[in-house]
Amino acid sequence: MIPITKPFLPPCEEYYKLLEGVWKRQWLTNMGPLASELEMKLKNSLNVSHLLYVTNGTVALQMAIKALGLKDEIITTPFSFVATTSSIVWENCTPVFVDIDKDTLNIDASKIEAAITEKTSAILATHVYGNPCDVVAIQKIADKYNLRVIYDGAHAFGVNVNGKSIFEYGDITTCSLHATKLYHTIEGGLVITKDSNLLKELAYIRNFGFDGPEAFACLGLNGKNSEFHAAMGLANLRHIEAIHEKRKELTERYDEKLKGLKAYKPRWHKEANLNYAYYPLVLESEELLLKIKSVLELNEIFVRRYFYPSLASTLPYLESKHLEVTDRVSKSVVCLPLYFDLTLEEIDLIARLILRTQNN
């Protein structure tokens, strides 16, 4: 069987070595020494101003919305994981969907301004598959209308644009470190900001709003992470270059073997590096997608319709909205298997089956 993904796991002895210290200290959570070490190493590795390690990417989004004091309407993308939209609703704000660009699959910056009203407080955009949004255009719009900007960078670990981390753009960027991501801590997330005052607010929010043992600075939640998760993060960070190189090799093999497929890959930001987080394809039609998916599954090869369906038209807690590009792309996009243990021979098999199916 070839699944859509498998988590990277470091050598057992590297992880166990870190756990020995946990047993000795008996400090299991509440931002222990391993979690603090991981924060510092990630801050340096990613070259960002301020970074907090939190429970998961969804909590990171909720913290970002709360820290910025957002109200009313938040402009966002319908082509993302559900947490991008549900976090907005969870924080009692209203998502306003703007259609995506057909080439990049990110929110279409040229359509944002038309969606702004007197109730708009922010733009929350996703770097889809790690591909940076048009951060320059979005910031110009935000500055013009005095809006805050949050980026959902769940897929964007290790991406730089215009010479600096993609996490340095906007007021706050979040990242997911879930087990399915190219770099993970089993469960986990990051909140990144350039603003030291926002960092302070976010740190309070992460720990119930505590300002000392008997005082509270603000409304908070439990956004902390454990030493066991941090240990996995520290162990995996040692292998990040190897992970990147292997995924690059696999991606290039797909590119080579899938020439002639009636599909296109999202156009990557011209000033950004690739992190090879996913291998997405927008196929010629939904009919071809379903045909390929069926044949692959008969051969125990599993793909994912990521993201399908459109968030704008399917969530039961929101009024349905149809957006032309999103509706079309979401029906025909698919992500192929991509993970560290995948072999070149397995990619060759996947490609043969896909092309054979297309040509039959």
C-alpha 254 chain-centroid distance: 22
Residues of the chain with CATH 3.90.1150.10: 240-359
Q: Which fold, 12-237?
A: Aspartate Aminotransferase; domain 2 (3.40.640)
Cα dihedral value 47, 48, 50, 51, nearest 10: -80
Cβ proximity of 72 and 93 under 8 Å: yes
Q: Could you read off the pLDDT of 230-239 as tens digits, one per residue? A: 999 999 999 9
What are the start and end residues of each CATH 3.40.640.10 domain in the chain?
12-237
Q: Is 346 exposed, middle or buried (0-12, 13-18, 19+ CB in 10 A)?
A: middle
CATH topology assigned to domain 240-359: Aspartate Aminotransferase, domain 1 (3.90.1150)
Write out residues in the chain with pLDDT < 70, as ranges. none
- DSSP assignment letter at 68: T
pLDDT for res 321: 95
pLDDT of residue 209: 96
Residue 97 phi/psi, 5-degree rounding, is -85, 135
| CA–CA gap between residue 209 and residue 2 (Å, rounded) | 45
pTM passes above 0.75 = yes
Burial class (CB in 10 A: 0-12, 13-18, 19+), 99: buried
Q: Where are the alpha helices (DSSP H) in 167-238?
A: 196-206, 227-237
**Contacting residues for 288 by C-beta, under 8 A, at least 6 apart:** 262, 332, 358
Let me know: does 307 contact 80? Beta carbons within 8 Å. yes
Give kind and range of the element (H or E) at residue 142.
Answer: helix 135-145
Evaluate whether 121 touches 148 at the Cβ level (below 8 Å): yes
What does the pLDDT read at residue 360?
Answer: 85
Neighbouring CB atoms inside 10 A of 219's CB total 10
Q: What is the pLDDT of residues 275-332, one digit of tens each?
A: 999 999 999 999 999 999 999 999 999 999 999 999 999 999 999 999 999 999 999 9
Report residue 165 as tokens: 């981390």
Look at residue 253 and give its three-state secondary structure: helix
Residue 207: how many CB atoms within 10 A of its CB? Answer: 16
Residues near 266 by Cβ (< 8 Å), separated by ≥ 6?
Answer: 103, 104, 105, 128, 129, 131, 280, 282
Helix, coil or strand: residue 48: coil
